[in-house]
């Protein structure tokens, strides 16, 4: 692999680090699965996620913040209510690009 390809791969790993960490956690995976089962418009409230995952509200809030910071989940506010929904398309496309790079090395 050339220096340019190596530099690009290192850059892409760094760019995707937050997403990889976020989706690598089993609790966050559970929350993502719950969000995928719920309505995307307007989204799900923490209480709904709590019923599906049996996690505490503080734990859910913490993990949602990690997912939001990684660009996987977005929040829609209506007054005092927060609705969370999947917003992972761009983040997953970036990860897919990284995976494609790694797969090329395996050929």
Q: Is the pLDDT of residue 1 over 80?
A: no
pLDDT at 8: 86
Report the percent of the chain where pLDDT is more than 70. 99
Sorting pLDDT into bands at 50, 70 and 90, what band is 46?
very high
Phi, psi of 29 (to 5 degrees): -60, -40
CA distances (Å), origin 90, targets 3, 42, 78, 87, 94: 27, 20, 25, 8, 6
pTM of this structure? 0.87
Domains for the chain: give ranges and CATH numbers.
Answer: 3-105 (1.10.10.10)
Supply the mean pLDDT for the chain: 93
pLDDT score, position 89: 93
């Amino acid at each position: 692999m050339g220096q340019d390809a190596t530099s690009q791969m290192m850059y892409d790993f760094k760019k995707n680090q937050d997403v990889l960490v976020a989706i690598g956690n089993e609790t966050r995976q559970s929350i993502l699965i719950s969000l995928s089962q719920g309505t995307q418009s307007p989204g799900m409230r923490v209480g709904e996620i709590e019923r599906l995952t049996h996690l505490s509200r503080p734990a859910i809030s913490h993990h949602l913040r990690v997912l939001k910071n990684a660009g996987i989940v977005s929040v829609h506010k209506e007054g005092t209510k927060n609705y969370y929904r999947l917003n992972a398309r761009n983040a997953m496309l970036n990860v897919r690009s990284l995976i494609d790079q790694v797969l090329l090395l395996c050929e």
